[in-house]
Structure 1
Amino acid sequence: MSDFDVTAADSIDLARLRRFVAVAEELHFARAAKALRIPRQSLSATVIELEGELGTRLFVPGASPTQLSADGAALLAHARDLIKAQEQAEREQQPEEPASLRVGFVPGVTVSKWARVWGERLPEHPLAVVGVGQGEQEAALRAGRVELCFVRLPIDRTAMNAIPLWRETPVAVVQKDDALSLLDTMTLADLAGEQLHDTSDPDQAAEALAMVAAVGGVAIVPQSIARLHHRRDLVYRPITDAEVTEIALAWPVGSDTELLEEFVGIVRGRSANSSRGAVEPEHAQAPARKGTAAKSAAKKPGAKKPGANKPAAKQRGAAQGGGRGRKPGTRRGR
């Protein structure tokens, strides 16, 4: 029985052990050298050096094809363990990647201004901006594909927090030579009897506008969708009495994180120097500044104006000048 102690390999550098493992696994010096991208002669020299340092044969002399000796097989198992342990230690020593945030947006929404502010304030935390189909806006949030999303309401408010941001005016899209294009604005009554193309799914709005261009009729879409799919052969007219759509920033209930709150603050216009904290409820109001209540009261009907309690004589004197504040060259009346 061999008295070879595999722990003697603990002091050998891993680069040479990796060369030995490559040959031991391939059992072919030429293929191992090619995989390592080194000359075959260099690989053979490394194995000879190892056998000299360890005092044993690692491969059966003269065997064809190449065969591991019993000591070589023992070293292979030990070398694999050493390499695995070193790789694990290197992974643990690597610094963790900085936390990032994924923000989704439905078609028609532009998020560049908030992404720019984020990059200025938190450059160390990557912000991923992800386009999301309107039909997938809630699914993307529930599945965690994005932490927040600019959505079109309505959504399930029992499972989602939402901050309404702005409303979108609906527009009617018609051909340039359509009689309706002569109107600056429209009402729903103006569209009575017209062929209305289905635009219930904003993700398919481009197809609906293509149908208007091809066969005529009317498509009603949010203004931002019309801008997104603008065509030179169509015109867009606001509808004054149609139901508006609303854009909101939404995220799942209970998913608040520090980075999420930072982004919500940016969207709400919080400055970089503002204190960071929990997201305020939608109905929260800013405290009145000093003097605001007094100014508001002064504007109410029946409120007394400054100077209303002065004696009448003093008021008349002030109105007549009382000898003070006369313009140069004016004479005192007799």
Structure 2
Amino acid sequence: MSEETTVDVDLVRLRYFATVAEHLHFGRAAAALNVARPTLSRALLDLEAELGVELFVRPSERTELTDAGRALLERATALLAADDRRTQGSAASNEAAGAARAFTIAIMAGVTVSKWTRLWEERKPGVPLRVVRTEAETQVSVLHDGSADVSFVRLPVDRAGVSTIPLYAEVPVVVLPKDHELTLLDSVSVVDLVEEHLLQDPDTVPQWRDAAATLRTTERRPLPEMQTTADAIALVAAGVGVVIVPQSVARLNHRKDVTYRPVVDVAGYDVALAWLGDDASGDVEEFIGIVRGRSARSSRSGATSPDREPAATPAGASRRTAARPRPQAAGKRGTSSSAGKNKPKATAKTRRPRGSR
């Protein structure tokens, strides 16, 4: 389990986990936390799904940690202690100098920002940091209504009044039942998927939509009721259909009864940092500089030029974007020339069944 993954886990769920690990009893832990036991159990199931590991031995007559659970407990103890120190320090500072306004970062599910939040805490210890989750419908509106200062978004977004810095592209994958025949392949194409029941609006995957329009031989069924991506993936597990999402989202919603494969001819999901174009506050400029990789000593006035610094890319992300990204209005995903040049290509080699090597 990597530090990068653990840092971005919701601290509330980490605290729930640490309390259960301390008591080794869900009932006593729930009482200590003053939450309902079903709420505690669900939170820890979500934590296991997010991390992709089992934290407790199952089945078991007693509560017992797995090896992954013991490793997380060690890391969680340090994280929670650090969070307690920050909270106490912020409270003392706020009491002495008046409450400081928190700098709020909005993120889409699956986007990892721990590298940048750590740098912020090092450089701006007097400004509290708050991270909130957004959905596709709210990833830009949180900027307009003042709920967030900056937002990590998946393009395309409404560009009105918003500036962006492209950061990296996420790999598109199709989530499949574990026993699906396409799991024999290392990767798939939209042609392989045209007869599948896509559990999302086809316009969100135009490559599948266009291929299905000419190649599909069966009539498309109405979509079942779904509220979240987790709902869609639960339907995938039940054999109802498939869904195409960024790889990070598939990992975030991991289940034992599903798996995923890269889709080689679907455009990558571009992640960008967005902020209001007329917001020239010092904190926003500081955070933009952190994301660009600007050092703490560099001159703010000399480093804000979009031509001079590359955007920092999280470990494991695709470096498809240009080396010197320029702030730009958000456009439609897959319409730029750079996106076309970097589109993954299907080859016989990548699509060879696993067992035939």
Query: TM-score normalised to the size of structure 1?
Result: 0.54
Note the C-alpha offset of 1:215.
Answer: 2.3
Residues 279 and 214 of structure 1: CA distance in aligned 2, closer, same or farther (over 3 Å): farther
CA distance in 2, matches of 1:191, 1:107: 25
User: Counterpart of 1:264?
Assistant: 288
CA distance in 2, matches of 1:210, 1:98: 42
Note the C-alpha offset of 1:99.
Answer: 4.3
What CA RMSD, in Å, does the superposition of the two structures yield over aligned residues? 2.3
Amino acid at match of 2:281: T
User: Counterpart of 2:153?
Assistant: 151
Contact 1:101 1:147 (8 Å CA) reproduced: yes
The 5-angstrom pairing of residues 205-220 of structure 1 reads 205-220=229-244
Residues 279 and 104 of structure 1: CA distance in aligned 2, closer, same or farther (over 3 Å): farther
CA distance in 1, matches of 2:240, 2:305: 46
Contact 1:226 1:236 (8 Å CA) reproduced: yes
How much identity, in percent, do the aligned residues show?
44
Residues 281 and 161 of structure 1: CA distance in aligned 2, closer, same or farther (over 3 Å): farther
CA-to-partner distance for each residue in 1:50-86, whole Å, 9 max, x for gaps? xxxxxxxxxxxxxxxxxxxxxxxxxxxxxxxxxxxxx
CA-to-partner distance for each residue in 1:203-238, whole Å, 9 max, x for gaps? 721111100101243211111111110111111100
Note the C-alpha offset of 1:281.
Answer: 5.1
CA distance in 2, matches of 1:145, 1:253: 16
User: Counterpart of 1:105?
Assistant: 107
Gaps of 5+ in 2: 1-94, 206-225, 310-357
CA distance in 2, matches of 1:260, 1:203: 33
2:136 corresponds to 1:134: yes
Structure 2 counterpart of 1:230, from 233, 246, 254: 254
Contact 2:289 2:304 (8 Å CA) reproduced: no
User: Counterpart of 2:79?
Assistant: none
2:141 corresponds to 1:117: no
Runs of 4+ in structure 1 displaced over 4 angstroms?
A: 199-203
Note the C-alpha offset of 1:94.
Answer: 7.0
CA-to-partner distance for each residue in 1:75-125, whole Å, 9 max, x for gaps? xxxxxxxxxxxxxxxxxx973433431111111112112111111111111
Amino acid at match of 1:164: P
CA distance in 2, matches of 1:203, 1:223: 20
Contact 2:108 2:152 (8 Å CA) reproduced: yes
CA distance in 1, matches of 2:112, 2:165: 16
Aligned residues: 193
Gaps of 5+ in 1: 1-92, 287-334
Contact 2:161 2:276 (8 Å CA) reproduced: yes
CA distance in 1, matches of 2:109, 2:301: 30
Amino acid at match of 1:260: V
Residues 175 and 134 of structure 1: CA distance in aligned 2, closer, same or farther (over 3 Å): same
CA distance in 1, matches of 2:279, 2:303: 12
Structure 2 counterpart of 1:240, from 264, 267, 281: 264
CA distance in 2, matches of 1:234, 1:168: 20
CA distance in 2, matches of 1:137, 1:155: 8
Contact 1:164 1:249 (8 Å CA) reproduced: yes
2:186 corresponds to 1:162: no
Contact 1:134 1:203 (8 Å CA) reproduced: no
Contact 1:102 1:146 (8 Å CA) reproduced: yes
Contact 1:168 1:224 (8 Å CA) reproduced: yes
The 5-angstrom pairing of residues 22-171 of structure 1 reads 95-171=97-173
1:171 aligned counterpart, secondary structure: strand
Residues 179 and 121 of structure 1: CA distance in aligned 2, closer, same or farther (over 3 Å): same
Note the C-alpha offset of 1:278.
Answer: 7.3
Structure 1 counterpart of 2:298, from 274, 282, 301: 274
Amino acid at match of 2:128: P
CA distance in 1, matches of 2:260, 2:183: 8
Amino acid at match of 2:284: L
Amino acid at match of 2:118: R
Amino acid at match of 1:114: W
CA distance in 2, matches of 1:162, 1:204: 26
CA-to-partner distance for each residue in 1:143-169, whole Å, 9 max, x for gaps? 000011101111232310111111111
